[in-house]
Chains A and B, each alone.
Chain A
Amino acid sequence: AQTVTQSQPEMSVQEAETVTLSCTYDTSESDYYLFWYKQPPSRQMILVIRQEAYKQQNATENRFSVNFQKAAKSFSLKISDSQLGDAAMYFCACLLAGGTSYGKLTFGQGTILTVHP
Chain B
Amino acid sequence: NAGVTQTPKFRILKIGQSMTLQCTQDMNHNYMYWYRQDPGMGLKLIYYSVGAGITDKGEVPNGYNVSRSTTEDFPLRLELAAPSQTSVYFCASSYGMYLAFFGQGTRLTVV
Contacts and interface: CB of A to CB of B under 8 A. Distances in A.
Contact of A109 (B35, B42, B98, B99): B42
Interface in A94-117: 95, 97, 101-110, 112
Q: Which of B44, B100, B105 has the most CB of A within 10 A?
A: B100
A107 B48 contact: no
A16 interface: no
Contacts of B59: 106
A105 B48 contact: yes
SS class, residues of chain B in contact with chain A: strand
Contact of A50 (B33, B45, B99, B102): B99
Q: Which of A6, A45, A97, A102 has the most CB of B within 10 A?
A: A45
B92 to A, nearest CB: 7
Interface in A19-50: 33, 35, 43-45, 47, 50
Nearest to B43: A107
A91 interface: yes
Contact of B88 (A43, A52, A108): A43
B83 to A, nearest CB: 21
Given A43-B88, A45-B92, A108-B42, A103 B48 contact: yes
A97 B31 CA distance: 12
Contacts of B50: 102-103
